[in-house]
Structure 1
Amino acid sequence: MTDAQTRAPHGGVTATTDPTTGEVEASALFGTTPERLFRAITTKEICTWWVRPGVFNTEDWSGDVREGGRWAAAGIGGGQPYQLEGEFVTVEDPRRLAQTWTPVGAPFEPALLTYDLTPQPGGVHLTLRHSGLPNADVCEKTRAGWETSLARLQEIIAAEKE
């Protein structure tokens, strides 16, 4: 990413932000199968890992996981209720998922969230790109959110092997 700010890895997650393009990129390795990881990003299981203690907590998620299908999430963020919604743009189970991302009521254009899952020895490499974010502040908050959320998902996946 050009002019990106790189942050120290959190739980093996690397996340960068490029406020000039409104993009966040995060990557992590998961010791599981692409099918298992795809399920984690396309079911209500999201509620267990879309969390950042003291900042946001996803309490509900629903989705019609097909191209053109809708999704919605709700929870508490910054002490206030929040709602997100969007549409699935690309669904290539278990390799790729792209969806629009819109905070309900926010004056922003929809952002695009893309997950790419690449099998490799010992697991799956996940690259997440969240693009179309409106400003540097939103980019930084989004980077921090994805960093901690993906670290939480790594913990959940690792605990399944124990």
Structure 2
Amino acid sequence: MASADLPAPPDEVIAALVTTKVERWWGSPETYRMTNWSADLRIGGGWNVSVETADQRLPASGKFLEIEMPRRIVQTRRYDWNHPALGRKETTVAYLLEPVGDGTRLTICHGGFAGFPDAAAEHADEWARVLGWLQRYLG
């Protein structure tokens, strides 16, 4: 679980998370970038993205399970390659958005790591970094 207060209204935060805007902010030259984002934003609709590193392009995908715009989106997530700590195990990510003053408190709950403690720890650290990128993009 990770949380941050963001300097934008919920509809802008949601757009940054589930549209091609993902490609503008998610990542850095030192780590990886998200590219080729596509989504069918409806319950049961799928999404796909490429995680692009300096020397690889790694696909990830999932389905939207719940959509309550602009308050909540729940989706599955799976790496379509053998992630070193998680393999191809499917997890679930919930984005919860709450208006706070002129901005939004975004809470991310990422579950489904039973039996994969190293992957859980890695993803917890990564969400903190991702929220930092999103704060800079929206700020």
TM-score category by the smaller chain?
0.7 to 0.9
Identify if the C-alpha distance between structure 1 residues 79 and 147 changes in structure 2 by more than 3 Å, giving closer, same or farther.
farther
- The yes-or-no answer on 1:143 pairing with 2:129 is no
Please state how far the C-alpha of 1:52 moved relative to its aligned partner.
4.4
Question: What letter matches 2:126 in structure 1?
Answer: G
Residues 58-98 of structure 1, C-alpha deviations (whole Å, 9 max, x = no match): 12211001100000010324743211000000011100001
Q: Tell me, in whole angstroms, the C-alpha distance in 2 between the residues paired with 1:99 and 1:114.
A: 6
User: Is contact 1:49–1:150 with CA below 8 Å preserved after alignment?
Assistant: no
Question: What letter matches 1:105 in structure 2?
Answer: W
Q: Give the structure-2-normalised TM-score.
A: 0.87
How many residues are matched?
134
Question: Identical aligned pairs, as a percentage?
Answer: 28
Secondary structure of residue in 2 paired with 1:51: coil
User: Is contact 2:7–2:102 with CA below 8 Å preserved after alignment?
Assistant: yes
Q: Which residue of 2 aligns with 1:152?
A: 133
- The yes-or-no answer on 1:132 pairing with 2:132 is no
Secondary structure of residue in 1 paired with 2:14: helix
Alignment equivalent of 1:81, drawn from 57, 78, 91 = 57
Residues 93-122 of structure 1, C-alpha deviations (whole Å, 9 max, x = no match): 100001000000334331000000011223
Question: What letter matches 2:132 in structure 1?
Answer: A
Alignment equivalent of 1:117, drawn from 73, 97, 103 = 97
Q: Tell me, in whole angstroms, the C-alpha distance in 2 between the residues paired with 1:72 and 1:50.
A: 14
Q: Tell me, in whole angstroms, the C-alpha distance in 2 between the residues paired with 1:90 and 1:40.
A: 17
Q: Tell me, in whole angstroms, the C-alpha distance in 2 between the residues paired with 1:77 and 1:138.
A: 19
Identify if the C-alpha distance between structure 1 residues 157 and 112 changes in structure 2 by more than 3 Å, giving closer, same or farther.
same
User: Is contact 1:55–1:77 with CA below 8 Å preserved after alignment?
Assistant: yes
User: Is contact 1:74–1:82 with CA below 8 Å preserved after alignment?
Assistant: yes
Secondary structure of residue in 1 paired with 2:104: strand
Unaligned runs of 5+ in 2: none
Q: Which residue of 2 aligns with 1:45?
A: 21
Identify if the C-alpha distance between structure 1 residues 70 and 62 changes in structure 2 by more than 3 Å, giving closer, same or farther.
same
Q: Tell me, in whole angstroms, the C-alpha distance in 2 between the residues paired with 1:77 and 1:131.
A: 25
Question: What letter matches 2:138 in structure 1?
Answer: I
Q: Give the structure-1-normalised TM-score.
A: 0.76
